[in-house]
Structure 1
Amino acid sequence: MARAANSPISYVLRDPAGKTPTPIIGLVRFNNERLKIATGFKVKPSHWNADKGRVKNVVEAVDKDEINGFLERTEKAVGGIITDLKANLIPLSKETVKERIDAYLNPSVEVEKPKTLLDFVGWYIDTCPTRLVRGSKARTGRFISPDTIRRYKTTLNGLEAFAKTYPRPLLLDNIDAAFYKAFTAWLTAKDYATNNVSKYIENVKGFMSAAVDEGFTTNMAYRKFANLREDAENIYLTENELSRIYELDLSKNARLEKVRDLFIFAAWTSLRFSDFSTLQPEHIKADENGNQYLDLRQRKTGGRVQIPIVHEAITELLNKYNNCLPAGISNQRTNDYLKEICQLAEINDRILKHVTKGGKAVVKTSDGWGKMSSGVEKWTLVTTHTGRRSFATNMFKRGMPTVLIMKLTGHKKESEFLKYIKIDAAETLDLMRQYLGPRSITKIA
């Protein structure tokens, strides 16, 4: 088989004696090395000119021009690759030569970069299942959770609706102060609560930060977007109220009984729904003295907590379920059942819940939100997270040091933990009286 003296590649057939089309193989030679490459083309051996390394000019070989053109271009390209490697003093090896030839034969397709915020967010959400959490040391190396993806989709839906009313296209380079002002005004006009508006803005800032990291934009205006938040007036349940719930006879209603038991477990361990609904026997440990405790990593933060099993309700529940709590249902369904349970337990004190909605201070009423209200019955405000708040508040009222409660709840910042302390004015005054009241002083003889 003839080969031009200055050509590093020649072409042969995999099966020269075959009767059917057979692959054309490229043989690249350099520095006494030989490298095989696949051309991706086949030809009948009877149509092949072995001396020239090309398809014969016969009528039956209908694709001869396309194949020969490819072989010619590839021969020139391989020659150029060898020359370039030598000129740049890059050692010729099978690895370096193959990498360059593969890049030529299989060029990467340039994907068009998203130019609009909507396109980018859609692309970002699609890649979330294999994308690692950003900006969280506790969750480093973990994929973005389904719950977070759902929140992203909610934000995208809001942005899509807003885009229909906004006069400017939502290009990544247009996400600036004017966008921020218009988007927050649009959300506020939708009667969204201030904290809900803040969640949308937080997500937009996260999307823009990711777009910058991906090289899709250099627009950093998002860094000045303010997150306007107000302290949420969430409730907690007193120890007496928790006892009333625990003492309910729900033996004839397995649906409510299981939810009640899970909630009580949370209220005396401070666990979130994502943790107590997936608790396993392996999370229950015992020290050298036989004292049991829970040892687990929190699903939300990845932080490790160790919680002594001391309260009798927790001991009874673990015995009741043989150290394996019933499987949790959805958070939303659990919240619905909890309200039903708390209503049966007559957790019906009237509560005033203030919030800013649509830019106005309003109070929750039984019929919705209004400026004047006698409040709503407490059971209507109970959720799975009420158990965690109840634990923190009740331990605080018992006088447990804040640093110890934070060890149990897994909080890292005291400012975040203090948001869980939900005592009212009367309870605050009682606690103050305990500290300000007279104490006995031991006289020294």
Structure 2
Amino acid sequence: MLKLPKVRAVFDRKKKASATTTGVVEIEIIFNRTQRKTLSSGIELYSNQWEDGLVIRHAESKKLNRKITDLIKNYEGIARSIIQDGKEVTYQTFSSALDRKSGKFGTDFIEFCYYVMERRGLRASTLRAHKHTLETLRESRIIRTFDDLTSENIKRFDLWLRQQDPSREQPTLYNYHKRLRPYVNEAVELGIIEESPYAKFKAERGKNKPKNALNDEELAAVRTLELRDEGLSKARDLFIFCCYTGLAYADMDVFDFSKDVVMVHGHYYIDKKRVKTGTKYYTPILPPAMAILERYDYQLPRITQQAYNRLLKCIGSLIKTKKNLSSHIARYTFATTVLLGHEVPIESVSKMMGHTSIQITQVYAKILNSSIEKQAERLANIL
């Protein structure tokens, strides 16, 4: 008679758990004395949070114990299906059945996402954004396996994103879900999960709050700031370069002076297509930006976007501005303070920025007008 294997939960098999270090809860399938298979549950606990096969002293003990029970039942169900086919449940037959249900990735959802992502032919900038989303998901430790793909966990991930960085605006949060959803849909299409958790969770698109560009005084403060730290100095120089060219981080990151620049009537211009949209832009390299290029022998230093924005926040605190310096703020500053503030026609601004339509450029004009209106109100109260 064909027998079912023993399926049980084991904790800290590698003996790493302590009061300050977590150990992993795994599901162990014992086929015989010499054959057994262990699969991660995605649950990590401290040494005092496991007792007699149960999660204890944890804020979500009931939920985690239910998850462990469901995993055990799931693997027992796979074993029963093998017996129903008239086969013996061995390491090989169980692994094959598990692969058919979960794909070649076992239960690891994030590895599945990377596999799918590599075959989608994404542009370099989009690829970076998707990888950042997956690594952020990994960091949250909320969704690791296919069994973690529930609407409740998607809500928890959304809440974690908000709590981890309160400055994230709704459109940024929406983009995390937008990038994640195609991989969830792929898992549904392949039959790995039955239903998308997004069927019960709707991420609102939201609207970006108007960005505050640096004014002339703040821009001068950044330019003249004395910095001894090399990382801060490089970040500041890249920021100034973008403030006087309008390049987004993705365009700056691939900028090549020898290939992307033309000279017309003694002036240098960047003549290229934007990484994000593929729209052509044509923008002058103004003197402050040219000075940066000369400083680095026409080869800009490379900094990851996360490190770049982190360093810019430090620079913002050094010049004592309440504005949140970022790679986006440099672009806004170029459009408003540098161009529109010096009466460059909006049609020319649109071309320099590489906007797909002039309506996008008009948003910058509105930001500038609102600033002028505030100054007018202030003057009216004084005069």
Q: Give the equivalent residue in structure 2 for 1:410.
A: 354
Q: Determine whether 1:271 maps to 2:216.
A: no
The change in CA–CA distance for 1:282 and 1:186 in structure 2 (over 3 A counts) is: closer
- 1:332, distance to aligned residue in structure 2 (A): 3.3
Q: Determine whether 1:321 maps to 2:291.
A: no
Q: Give the equivalent residue in structure 2 for 1:330.
A: 304
The question of whether the paired residues in 2 share the 8 Å contact of 1:131 and 1:143 is answered with: no
- 1:237, distance to aligned residue in structure 2 (A): 0.6
Q: Which moved more, 1:207-216 or 1:270-279?
A: 207-216
What TM-score results when the alignment is normalised by the length of structure 2? Answer: 0.56
* Map 1:45-444 → 2, pairs under 5 A: 112=100, 114=102, 121-133=110-122, 139=123, 145-155=127-137, 161=142, 179=151, 183-184=154-155, 187-188=158-159, 191-192=162-163, 194-211=170-187, 225-250=202-227, 254-287=230-263, 289-309=265-285, 311-325=286-300, 327-344=301-318, 346-348=319-321, 377-378=322-323, 381-394=324-337, 395-413=339-357, 422-423=367-368, 425-429=370-374
The change in CA–CA distance for 1:336 and 1:278 in structure 2 (over 3 A counts) is: same
The question of whether the paired residues in 1 share the 8 Å contact of 2:232 and 2:311 is answered with: yes
Aligned partners of 2:356, 2:106: CA distance in 1, in Å?
34
The question of whether the paired residues in 2 share the 8 Å contact of 1:411 and 1:417 is answered with: yes
Q: Secondary structure at the match of 2:272?
A: strand
The change in CA–CA distance for 1:400 and 1:424 in structure 2 (over 3 A counts) is: closer
Aligned partners of 1:248, 1:144: CA distance in 2, in Å?
34
- For 1:323, give the aligned amino acid: Y
- 1:118, distance to aligned residue in structure 2 (A): 7.2
- 1:266, distance to aligned residue in structure 2 (A): 0.5
- 1:270, distance to aligned residue in structure 2 (A): 0.9
What whole-Å deviation, never above 9, does each CA across 1:21-59 have from its counterpart, x for those lacking one? xxxxxxxxxxxxxxxxxxxxxxxxxxxxxxxxxxxxxxx
The question of whether the paired residues in 1 share the 8 Å contact of 2:244 and 2:334 is answered with: yes
The change in CA–CA distance for 1:149 and 1:234 in structure 2 (over 3 A counts) is: same
Structure in which a larger fraction of residues adopt helix: 2
The question of whether the paired residues in 1 share the 8 Å contact of 2:243 and 2:331 is answered with: yes
The question of whether the paired residues in 2 share the 8 Å contact of 1:163 and 1:170 is answered with: yes
What whole-Å deviation, never above 9, does each CA across 1:343-402 have from its counterpart, x for those lacking one? 44x343xxxxxxxxxxxxxxxxxxxxxxxxxxxx33xx2123221121122223334344
The change in CA–CA distance for 1:117 and 1:392 in structure 2 (over 3 A counts) is: farther
- For 1:112, give the aligned amino acid: R
Which runs of 5 or more structure 2 residues have no equivalent in the other structure? 1-95, 379-383
Calculate percent identity across the aligned residue pairs. 22
Aligned partners of 2:135, 2:259: CA distance in 1, in Å?
33
What whole-Å deviation, never above 9, does each CA across 1:129-172 have from its counterpart, x for those lacking one? 34312xxxxx4xx69624421212323665x62699xxx9667x
What TM-score results when the alignment is normalised by the length of structure 1? Answer: 0.49
- For 1:392, give the aligned amino acid: A
The change in CA–CA distance for 1:431 and 1:130 in structure 2 (over 3 A counts) is: farther
What whole-Å deviation, never above 9, does each CA across 1:233-264 have from its counterpart, x for those lacking one? 533211232123223345x5544433322211
Structure number with bigger Rg: 1
The question of whether the paired residues in 1 share the 8 Å contact of 2:142 and 2:156 is answered with: no
The question of whether the paired residues in 2 share the 8 Å contact of 1:238 and 1:390 is answered with: yes
- 1:271, distance to aligned residue in structure 2 (A): 1.0
The question of whether the paired residues in 1 share the 8 Å contact of 2:236 and 2:315 is answered with: yes
Aligned partners of 1:414, 1:315: CA distance in 2, in Å?
27
Aligned partners of 1:432, 1:403: CA distance in 2, in Å?
29
The question of whether the paired residues in 2 share the 8 Å contact of 1:264 and 1:387 is answered with: yes
Which runs of 5 or more structure 1 residues have no equivalent in the other structure? 1-108, 134-138, 349-376, 434-445
Q: Secondary structure at the match of 1:329?
A: coil
The question of whether the paired residues in 2 share the 8 Å contact of 1:122 and 1:156 is answered with: no
- For 2:275, give the aligned amino acid: R
The change in CA–CA distance for 1:215 and 1:301 in structure 2 (over 3 A counts) is: farther
Aligned partners of 2:106, 2:351: CA distance in 1, in Å?
40
Q: Which moved more, 1:207-216 or 1:257-266?
A: 207-216
Aligned partners of 1:338, 1:276: CA distance in 2, in Å?
15
The change in CA–CA distance for 1:430 and 1:256 in structure 2 (over 3 A counts) is: same
Q: Secondary structure at the match of 2:261?
A: strand
Aligned partners of 1:199, 1:151: CA distance in 2, in Å?
9
Aligned partners of 2:352, 2:214: CA distance in 1, in Å?
18
The question of whether the paired residues in 1 share the 8 Å contact of 2:125 and 2:250 is answered with: no
Q: Secondary structure at the match of 1:161?
A: coil
Aligned partners of 1:147, 1:258: CA distance in 2, in Å?
23
Size of the aligned set, in residue pairs, is 273
Aligned partners of 1:211, 1:347: CA distance in 2, in Å?
48
The change in CA–CA distance for 1:288 and 1:412 in structure 2 (over 3 A counts) is: closer
- 1:297, distance to aligned residue in structure 2 (A): 3.5
The question of whether the paired residues in 1 share the 8 Å contact of 2:143 and 2:153 is answered with: no
- For 2:294, give the aligned amino acid: N
Q: Secondary structure at the match of 1:427?
A: helix
The change in CA–CA distance for 1:212 and 1:404 in structure 2 (over 3 A counts) is: farther
The question of whether the paired residues in 2 share the 8 Å contact of 1:397 and 1:431 is answered with: no
Q: Secondary structure at the match of 1:295?
A: strand
Please provide the CA RMSD for this pair.
4.3
- For 2:372, give the aligned amino acid: E
